[in-house]
């Protein structure tokens, strides 16, 4: 009886999507909504793996979706750390600057509406400036990697399971 | 192991009941515990940070961890003890909505009997949040706290209905394949 297809392709592609959506500045803003980018990557990995099942193979099951999402999250963590640090080395802290621009706009709007006390705006901007000027050290890179390796597989796995719930089992006719 | 004869088929038949009938509840309880810890950490961040030098570093560590998954803008967050929660209003609503449904599930149906609802309900529950996020970013509306709270809770509350059945089934399948392969569960039976 033919075995289940190899997860390698789905995991790598899913991991690449997760890594890109987590590591590329501005694009990674999507994760501000409860890691939507990672969930999407997990869903995609699960979908890609499901598509590899052909007639005669055992069916695509929820455990396949869980493992694919989890592995894609681990690969994504490595890819994201690589991408974000590469961008930081090449272009400087663009991610933090993009974030600063966005937060600046939000704060400005909130101050105009009177939702935040006067003076808080400048204080928060100072805080952001300090974050931007922080140098890139090995400690920071490892800390980044550690957080990513914890968070991304969890949300990747949830994405994989959501993918299974969305696309469902793939029934493959078994040979008689 | 010498001297011990193990009928693997018998073990599988006997323990299949345990795996598929009891284990789902254990998996569910583990998930509930993890999500509870996650939500406690969200609330603990400001409480620890407010503790000054004693617990402050622990609070900072929690804020640092949550900063990876949320913008943590002060004006967009709930506050406890004068400090913002670990995540913003929208994220808090999603996580606490998720936890609320997890807690509610056993009162309505046994977790291992929970079936995934039709997928349209998922999109229907997520739609208000997506509309709120998009319209805010396009400058159409200011996304008041209540809108973020309600749409977040709605989105978070629906997710367990899709994740829990798949997760319980997946863990059962993994355990089954583990003892079929002669791993931990087969050894446990000896």
Residue-wise pLDDT tens digits, A50-75: 999 888 888 899 999 999 999 999 99
Eight-class DSSP state of B21: I
Contacts of A65 in chain B (CB under 8 A): 166, 170
Question: What is the length of chain B?
Answer: 190
Best of B73, B124, B147, B156 to mutate (most A CBs within 10 Å, chain A) = B73
- Assigned domain for B53 exists: yes
Going by the DSSP 8-state scheme, the letter that residue B113 receives in this structure is G
Q: Please give, one letter per residue, the 3-state secondary structure of A79-105.
A: HHHHHHHHHHHHHCCHHHHHHHHHHHH
CA gap B71, B77 in Å, rounded: 10
Given pLDDT bands bounded at 50, 70 and 90, which one contains residue B185?
low
In a domain, B173, yes or no: yes
Considering only alpha carbons, which residue of chain A is nearest residue B129? A33
**Rg over CA atoms, chain B:** 22
Kind and range of the H or E run holding A53: none
Question: For residue A160, what are its two tokens?
Answer: 């994989």
Extents of the domains making up chain A: 1-92+137-176, 94-133
Segment A94-111, tens digit of pLDDT? 777 777 777 777 777 766
Asked whether the predicted pLDDT for residue B182 surpasses 80, the reply is: no
Interchain pair B177, A158: CB under 8 A: no
**What pLDDT, on a 0 to 100 scale, did the predictor assign at position A55?**
84
Residues 80-109 in B contacting A (C-alpha not used; CB under 8 Å):
90-91, 94-95
Of B75, B163, B174, the CB nearest to A161: B163
Look at residue B56 and tell me if it is in a domain.
yes
Of B96, B125, B155, B113, the closest CA to residue B28 belongs to B113
> Which chain B residue has the Cα nearest residue A165?
B162
pLDDT of residue A152: 93
Residue A175: predicted pLDDT: 54
Distance, in angstroms, between A150 CA and closest chain B CA? 10
Alpha-carbon torsion angle A44, A61, B110, B91, nearest 10: -10
Task: Count up the domains in chain B and report the number.
Answer: 1
| Residue B1 included in any domain | no
CA distance B39 to B27: 18
β-bridge partners, B26: none
Res. B165: pLDDT tops 80: yes
What phi and psi, each to the nearest 5 degrees, are found at residue A170? Answer: -105, 110
Which residue in B69, B166, B177 is closest to A164 by CB distance?
Answer: B166
Cα–Cα distance, B95 to B35 (Å, whole number): 8
* Report for A19-33, A111-125, A145-159: range of highest mean pLDDT: A145-159
Alpha helix segments (H runs only) across chain B: 8-17, 23-49, 56-67, 89-108, 119-137, 145-180, 184-189
Among A33, A113, A166, the residue with its CB nearest the CB of B90 is A33
pLDDT for res B1:
43
Cross-chain Cβ contact B122/A158 below 8 Å: no
Q: Which residue is listed with tokens 């900063």?
A: B67
Q: Which of B65, B133, B170 sits opposite A147 (nearest CB)?
A: B65
CA separation for the pair B73, B36 (Å, rounded): 23
Domain residues for the domain of B164 are 8-185
Report the C-alpha gap between B96 and B104 in whole angstroms. Answer: 12
User: Percentage of chain A surpassing pLDDT 70?
Assistant: 83
Beta-carbon separation of A165 and B163 below 8 A:
yes
Is B14 domain-assigned? Answer: yes
The number of C-alpha atoms within 13 Å of A118 and in the hemisphere containing its C-beta is: 1
- pLDDT, residue A114, reads 65
In a domain, B3, yes or no: no
More confident residue, A120 or B83: B83
The verdict on residue B61 lying in a domain is: yes
Is B81 within a domain? yes
Task: Determine the average pLDDT of the residues in A82-91.
Answer: 87
Residue in B90, B96, B62 with CA at minimum distance from that of residue B75: B90
| pLDDT for B2 | 44
Residue length, chain A? 176
**CA dist., res. A153 & res. A132, Å (int):** 27
Using CB atoms within 10 Å of the CB of residue B143, give its burial: 0 to 12 exposed, 13 to 18 middle, 19+ buried: middle
ipTM of the complex: 0.79
């Amino acid at each position: 009886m033919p075995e289940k297809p190899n997860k390698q392709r789905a995991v790598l592609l899913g991991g690449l999507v997760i890594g890109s959506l987590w590591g590329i500045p501005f694009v990674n803003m999507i994760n501000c909504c409860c890691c939507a980018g990672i969930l999407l990557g997990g869903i995609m990995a699960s979908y890609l793996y499901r598509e590899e099942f052909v007639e005669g193979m055992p069916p695509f099951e929820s455990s396949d979706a869980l493992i694919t999402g989890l592995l894609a999250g681990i690969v994504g963590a490595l890819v994201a750390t690589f991408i974000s640090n590469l961008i930081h080395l090449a272009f400087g802290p663009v991610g933090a600057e993009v974030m600063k621009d966005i937060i600046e706009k939000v704060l400005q709007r909130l101050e105009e509406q009177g939702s935040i006390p006067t003076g808080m705006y400048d204080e928060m901007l100072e805080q952001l400036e300090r974050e931007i000027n922080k140098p890139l050290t090995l400690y920071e890179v490892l800390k980044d990697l550690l957080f990513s390796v914890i968070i991304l597989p969890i949300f990747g796995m949830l994405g994989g399971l959501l993918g299974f719930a969305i696309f469902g089992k793939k029934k493959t006719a078994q040979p008689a | 192991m010498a001297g011990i004869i193990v009928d693997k088929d018998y073990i599988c038949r006997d323990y299949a009941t345990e795996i598929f009938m009891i284990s789902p509840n254990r998996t569910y309880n583990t998930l509930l515990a993890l999500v509870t810890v996650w939500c406690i950490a969200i609330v603990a961040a400001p409480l620890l940070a407010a503790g000054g030098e004693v617990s402050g570093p622990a609070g900072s560590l929690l804020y640092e961890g949550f900063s990876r998954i949320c913008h943590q803008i002060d004006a967009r967050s709930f506050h406890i003890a004068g400090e913002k929660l670990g995540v913003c209003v929208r994220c808090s609503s999603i996580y606490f909505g998720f936890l609320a449904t997890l807690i509610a599930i056993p009162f309505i149906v046994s977790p291992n009997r929970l079936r995934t609802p039709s997928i349209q309900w998922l999109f229907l529950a997520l739609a208000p949040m997506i509309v709120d996020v998009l319209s805010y970013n396009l400058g159409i509306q200011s996304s008041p706290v209540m809108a973020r709270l309600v749409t977040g809770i709605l989105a978070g509350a629906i997710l367990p209905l899709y994740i829990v059945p798949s997760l319980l089934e997946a863990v059962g399948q993994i355990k089954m394949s583990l003892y079929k392969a002669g791993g931990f569960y087969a050894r446990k039976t000896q």
